[in-house]
Amino acid sequence: MFILLVEEIEGVMLGALRRKAASGASSASVCGKSFYKLKPAGSASRVSSAVVEEINCIRGFGNVRTFCHLPSAGKTMYLMPKREVLNSSLKNVNLQNGSRPFSSDSDGDVFEAVVPFMGESITDGILATFLKKPGDRVEVDEPIAQIETDKVTIDVNSPEAGVIKEFVAKEGDTVEPGTKVAIISKSGEGATHVAPSDEKPSEKSPSSPSPPAEEIKEKQTPKVETKPAVAKPKGPPPKHSASEPQLPPKERERRVPMTRLRKRVSTRLKDSQNTFALLTTFNEVDMTNLMKLRSDYKDVFAEKHGVKLGLMSGFVKAAISALQKQPIVNAVIDGDDIIYRDYVDISIAVGTPKGLVVPVLRNAENMNFAEVEKEINNLAKKANDGSISIDEMAGGTLTISNGGVYGSLISTPIINPPQSAILGMHSIVSRPMVVGGNIVPRPMMYIALTYDHRLIDGREAVFFLRRIKDVVEDPHRLLLDV
């Protein structure tokens, strides 16, 4: 660009010089501005500032103010801009071409907090609540709002440390990734501080003068004496017909909109009920040996692995063994095909205050008891504090739901699509059982398997539960693979 500029300037100047030299003039002019003729090689020569300004107007480079040249003998003279002038011009050109900084302010003081990417299958969410108020101080990556999606709750974090200037979106708005939520000011200028109390200022100023007593007397309405009305005797209360229902008063009811997570759960469960041929089979498990194993090794286990030994890891290992012996339970229908999975991803149903979530143990067939317990604790903690991600809940080949932690005795769980079965665990109850011809108390648990009868026959479902029963009642089978 500057080479073209130099060649164009050279052509204009030399043409003017030739015309003036022919007429005997000692100076030439360009665009109405005069300049000196170029002297022979080796002598100093300069261009007047007025000519430079006129040339700048021609080329559109308002920041180019100084030119220098070094003519040499027998060579064409070129005009080159100085380095600092070149840098200044390039900066102006970049700004004119639309290059803008991230901040909306020239000094980079203001930043925008936007909705982050929420996952491949999630396109929007509901702005559930603001965790901060305008005027509050926030640090980098500190959550300032929460977005409710179909599956998880996602935080909107502050891009920079500063003060919340204002909120752009409102609670209850449907937002998409990239939607502006708040404006953060690094310096705190222009931030609106919210008073801690919600008390409204009194409409009447305490400093306003009160009207004179005489005016108050004049404005008073004269009293009119009225005779007290004779109370009419009340009639009997209206009789309600026998068919008219006695409804509770509306003021004792509350209407709350469903969360996105609750809507998603209800939709998926209803789709499961409408799509699958649901059937449930039951069995009961004697928990004596598994509970004894846990009691004998819980201290040593916790000391070595840093996690408590629970009953869930025993059922996960038993379910993995049952899936390997009955691979059809680990399969799924896809159109007119059956997809067999040669891996085992166990989904663990976790009930949270916001709804049911189902994190997944990836490649559970390669985990030992300690790894299963650690991963379950980690995923359950994330689910309860709302930090679990979409990827940690995607997929799964079999779901285990432990309703026993809430005291459930028996239930018929619903399949989590697109899986083909779900295993339900229940509470442990001491019941009289016949063992060796004697009636003895035993800690018993009912287990249930709900399966898609389009794919899984009753024979495979019963064998699946029988394998879980055998492994839980005799954990040594896992060591011997029998």
Residues identified as active-site: 453, 457
Task: Find how far residue 48's CA is from the centre of its chain.
Answer: 63
Question: What amino acid occupies position 304?
Answer: K
Among residues 53, 106, 57, 65, the alpha carbon closest in space to that of 89 is found at 65
Q: Rounded to 5 degrees, what angle do the CA atoms 396, 320, 287 make?
A: 120
User: At a CB cut-off of 8 Å and minimum separation 6, what does 118 contact?
Assistant: 125, 147, 149, 154, 177, 390
Q: Encoding tokens for residue 101? A: 């900084």
H or E, element range at 471: helix 458-473
DSSP 8-state secondary structure symbol assigned to residue 446: E
Task: For the chain, give percent helix, strand, coil, nearest 5.
Answer: 30, 25, 45
Among residues 401, 372, 392, the alpha carbon closest in space to that of 307 is found at 372
Q: Encoding tokens for residue 180? A: 């502006």
Cα-Cα-Cα-Cα torsion 300, 304, 306, 309, nearest 10 degrees, comes to -40
SS3 281: strand
